[in-house]
Structure 1
Amino acid sequence: MSRGSDDDESSDQFAEPIRWKRFAHVCTSVVKYDPNWLHESNSTGVYIVTGAQLISKGNWPRNVLHLRLLFTHIPNCSIRKTEWDAAPETSKKSSFFTNLSTTFSFTQQSVTAKQKQAQQA
């Protein structure tokens, strides 16, 4: 099952202007699983994100970049505790994509540092 920011008809209100050559806006609306998926399948379990895509919709100057997430059903499971990693406090910036890229680069640096420590041991 997949769901994207482009599925919501009110996604226009979440269009944040950006200055990129190929895109005029990025959609920052929340992308969540549909709770009805569990009711429709008469199954217990959870949906977790197992993939992501960035897709473009529209034509210049109204070209919008959207996020689409792929959800996978894990039967007979439950989520006991939910935790999200966050970017360092020093990276509080106004732009959605700046925060997103900072988070990805921070996560990559953390993984690289852990790999180096493991190799030295």
Structure 2
Amino acid sequence: MSVIRWMVKTTDRIGMIQDVVQVFSREGVSISSMEVSTGQIFIKFHVDTASRLEEILKRELLYHTDIIDIIDIALQPYEQGKKNCKLFWSRLTMGLSVWIMKGPSAISIPQQQACFMLSKGKQ
């Protein structure tokens, strides 16, 4: 099975999400996650590696005049956010462990900024 992630660029109109979902439903493809913002639908789904479903779905979606483009993406926005958060916390904890062992002057400037942001309640 292959994991496919797309950003579907669309015009902003009522029923656009339903039109996209119906294409997946007709082809029997289950959407594992979906995020929607104005003019963009982020979709994650699985297909058999040997099947041509990805090509069929893309062709059927692009047949709609309100679908502008379909772009392959590495991660959906929520996945990218989780990745960034993990990276932030790993760097923050690394900086804090240096601070505990060597004192506050041993932390690099970006880590100090992260600590300041955290103390001010910013994300």
Q: Which has the higher helix share?
A: 2
- Asked which structure has the greater CA Rg, the reply is 2
Q: Same fold (TM over 0.5)?
A: no
| Larger RCO, structure (CA 8 Å, separation 6 or more) | 2
TM-score, normalization: structure 2? 0.32
